Structure 1
């Protein structure tokens, strides 16, 4: 974990102090929160394929969130923003779609993966802490942001797709149907939403509205499937994409199911991490989009980067790493 403490030096300049360590370390959290008035909690373990044990996920994503909140109360940090995930909302096991939903859209969903379970539990802990009495007599205000799929420079998911396409002769394998559209968010806009929510929690009037609530965060990136988003980012570099999924969706789901069984059988003797699971197949093949208008209304969220700028920035980053990735692929 990397903690950044931000303060002004009195001359209008911003000073950033970096503290590296384990988010489960109470003393580290105390040092990071000392003197702070606002905490952005973005640290978590992300696991899409069962590579991380549940105990580890729970310790980092849930227990450490509770510990950080306790530290904020002891250090009288007045505002706390939790970076949640779209996966706490779904899609559910049946792959029921949501198109342009919102925070009040009814939808039955029990978290599919251990990752989504721990993120949801941590989000609930965060929101329940809203209004807690601080050591100095004030009260804590909390909110949670649920970004849609975040893309941009540095995105590991996009980088992995680039590597796969290089190994496949500059062709991207399709796992998602074109009709399974989601509304991703550019990393710059996701970061901006956190800053704007932070300002709202410092405003007495907005604080009363925003505190204790969660918000979906997206931008004006076109509604598009996961695979087609990656293709839009990679196509200027000479990559193509398959027209149809590599297998019918029901066969992909069945294959993922057998891989999960194999993983469970081998768990005690061999560390096997399947490249595919049912959660991933369901997620990338379910239309799942949400409006970000509540964030606009209640804390003034307004995306700064349009689709063209976001795409160009991400493609430029991919172009910068492409030569090294090709050399690495040739060696293996």
Structure 2
């Protein structure tokens, strides 16, 4: 089902995934209008998009996701909302009240606005981290939406994404202002990589500082299945198309889906090496210290953070949940998304890896200069 003639809102439109989704919408759908909603709209992005607009109108809504008046203006007359906006924090650098304010309260306000303004479809970008791994590091290999797993989320970011996800699923079927009903869908992408990924960029910088040798932060056997950003964006597009198709709307609405692709299972550290090895980067054979010692160090740093919190902001570079996540096999299939919404990865591993490496090569000289200045 095509989205031709629709008015689409993309929150977080200038983010890593949001920008890729906007470009895909412009390339593949004859939209009436696409509305970019972001806290900071990049002029370079809006300028670059003008060549792809065709007959599609491009509108900009700059501001905070918690601004109810902004949301009303952005959603009025829209038919679908892609909610990709989120604060991402895996090391505890952001105050939890801010995380929950943006990720949970912002999502709640947006859902309420969609009901008031009769927006019929709502796609929420969740995270693999709402599934785990748990504190014991119990693995999941090739899991799916039916996989049972005991998980108690302790990290504020994971908690905020889980709460927002639940809000979205509970909102499915709410009566809209025009008498129709809202259809919601939640997508849980794996770790998203590709051109523009700030996490891969950060690992490259660390490698430059370490003499072009990447730090090993995960064990080889702790395999996950990252997803390429182009495939993650396509999963969102297919979700919107499915929610618009009467025969699929009932099956997809109110459900969550794992979005992965055919990137081979690999540890986080070995993934970084796979995309950076063609640029001359090596990788440590083993972690600097055994996992139990690293876990104890992370615990002690968390204690220090708690003691200093009233007097000084201290953000440890590692915490126990992040350490467990990086060292636990945790992979999921996209077969339910394939069955229900027709999602099949657009880009295979070789193409995705080459595109990522080419982007890293383009920014490498700048990053070397930046690291040398520091």
By the TM > 0.5 criterion, same fold? yes
> Which residue number corresponds to residue 79 of structure 1?
121
Measured in 1, the distance between the counterparts of 2:85 and 2:125 equals 8
Q: Is the 8 A contact 1:2 1:20 kept in 2?
A: no
> Which residue number corresponds to residue 283 of structure 1?
325
Q: How many residues align?
A: 331
Q: Deviations over 1:77-127 (max 9, x none)?
A: 000000000000000000000000100101000112000001000000000
Measured in 2, the distance between the counterparts of 1:315 and 1:308 equals 10
Q: Is the 8 A contact 2:12 2:83 kept in 1?
A: no
Matches for 1:224-239 after TM superposition, within 5 Å: 224-239=266-281
2:250 aligned with 1:250, yes or no? no
Match of 1:8 among 25, 32, 35: 32
1:16 positional shift: 2.3
2:82 aligned with 1:58, yes or no? no
Q: Is the 8 A contact 1:2 1:19 kept in 2?
A: no
1:2 positional shift: 4.7
In structure 1, the gaps of 5 or more residues are: none
2:359 aligned with 1:297, yes or no? no
Question: What is the SS of the residue equivalent to 1:134?
Answer: coil
> Which residue number corresponds to residue 26 of structure 1?
68
> Which residue number corresponds to residue 177 of structure 1?
219
Matches for 1:72-151 after TM superposition, within 5 Å: 72-151=114-193
2:360 aligned with 1:318, yes or no? yes
1:133 positional shift: 0.1
1:15 positional shift: 2.4
Measured in 1, the distance between the counterparts of 2:58 and 2:346 equals 23
Q: Is the 8 A contact 1:130 1:141 kept in 2?
A: yes
Measured in 1, the distance between the counterparts of 2:204 and 2:119 equals 42
Q: Is the 8 A contact 2:173 2:183 kept in 1?
A: yes
In structure 2, the gaps of 5 or more residues are: 1-10, 14-21, 34-52
Measured in 2, the distance between the counterparts of 1:133 and 1:246 equals 56
2:322 aligned with 1:271, yes or no? no
> Which residue number corresponds to residue 350 of structure 2?
308
Match of 1:209 among 236, 239, 251: 251
1:203 positional shift: 0.5
1:279 positional shift: 0.9
Q: Is the 8 A contact 1:92 1:112 kept in 2?
A: no
Measured in 2, the distance between the counterparts of 1:265 and 1:2 equals 35
RMSD: 1.4
1:245 positional shift: 1.1
Match of 1:196 among 238, 241, 249: 238
Q: Is the 8 A contact 1:98 1:287 kept in 2?
A: yes
Question: What is the SS of the residue equivalent to 1:112?
Answer: coil
Q: Deviations over 1:29-54 (max 9, x none)?
A: 11111111000001111111111111
> Which residue number corresponds to residue 303 of structure 2?
261
